[in-house]
Amino acid sequence: MTLPALLFSAACALASEPTNGSGEDNTTKAANTYCLNIADKAADARIAWQMKRLNELQAKVETRISELEQRQSEVKSWIDRQQALLESAEKGLVEIYSTMDPDAAADQLAALDIRIAASVLHQLKPREAGAILDVMRTDRAAELVRMLASASAAPLAGSTQ
């Protein structure tokens, strides 16, 4: 609380106390007059202080928002770079599997995560993918075909033609 506001509060508190004698009536009247005269100035000072504080807080919030937006763009840039790296690695992986012997490719794909294996098979030529699935364990091949079929059916289910 600012000094003028503190003085105003103290003067008003003293002015509101009951009086015993006529000498105190003059003091009370003077205090009441003082309170009435300074009330607008005290309110203005309080409002000015609050506005200053609000402006300071707004500046802090805007600074923080700016920092967060910068971080967000950095994270998005990092994600984009990682995505590009994964896509290029996946293309290279598809090329590798397309040149492999189907037996060796089937063994390797069987050991991979189902989503990665399905993605690789999806990008292979149908003849190459078929040759690999033909020599793969039946349960794993069925699992991969189900995943490929569900991935292909998902966009079709969304269309309303």
Q: What is the pLDDT along the chain (161 residues), one digit of tens a residue?
A: 566 665 666 656 655 555 555 556 788 888 888 888 788 888 888 999 999 999 999 999 999 999 999 999 999 999 998 888 777 767 888 889 999 999 999 999 999 888 888 888 988 999 999 999 999 999 999 999 998 888 776 555 555 44
Judge whether 106 and 132 are in contact, CB under 8 Å. Answer: yes
Distance between CA 86 and CA 31 in Å, rounded?
79
Judge whether 144 and 114 are in contact, CB under 8 Å. Answer: yes
> Which DSSP state fits 5?
H
Which helix (DSSP H) or strand (DSSP E) does residue 14 occupy?
helix 3-15
In terms of Cβ atoms closer than 10 Å to its own Cβ (0-12, 13-18, 19+), residue 93 is middle
Joined tokens for residue 142: 């069925």
pLDDT at 39: 80
Judge whether 129 and 103 are in contact, CB under 8 Å. Answer: no
138-161 burial: b if 16+ Cβ within 10 Å, else e: eebbebbeebbeeeeeeeeeeeee
CA distances from 130 to 53, 114, 121, 147 (A): 71, 17, 9, 15
